[in-house]
Amino acid sequence: MTDTRAHVFVSGKVQGVFYRATTREEARKRDVDGWVKNLADGRVEAVFEGPEDAVAEMVEWCHEGSDRARVEDVEVEYGEPAGFDSFDIRR
């Protein structure tokens, strides 16, 4: 299976609801690398890199998010992996 990259933007009530921390937990469970961060406009941005099926699971997970999140929209762009070797929360 080849590796892929998904760059996602999640909108809704996704800040202050443990979205980033839960995203990191879920990504690490699936051995997906990349990062997640809050944006000034209230959205969350994330990059997932890894096996296609694991990345697809993370994109799907983004539609639900953490228990307290209320996701309204998820935009996804696919591309070539940049080669991250961990999953981090960016400030």
CATH label of the domain that carries residue 43: 3.30.70.100
| Beta strands at 3-13 and 33-38: parallel, antiparallel or unpaired | unpaired
Give the active site residue among 5, 24, 38, 91.
38
Give the active site residue among 20, 24, 30, 43.
20
Q: In whole angstroms, what is the distance from residue 59 CA to residue 47 CA?
A: 10
Tally of domains in the chain: 1
Q: Which domain holds residue 77?
A: 3-82
For 10-48, the pLDDT digits (tens) are 999 999 999 999 999 999 999 999 999 999 999 999 999
Does the annotation count 90 as an active-site position? Answer: no
Burial of 11: CB neighbours in 10 Å, binned 0-12, 13-18, 19+: middle
For 47-89, the pLDDT digits (tens) are 999 999 999 999 999 999 999 999 999 999 999 999 999 999 9
Please give the DSSP secondary-structure letter assigned to residue 30. T
Does the annotation count 38 as an active-site position? Answer: yes
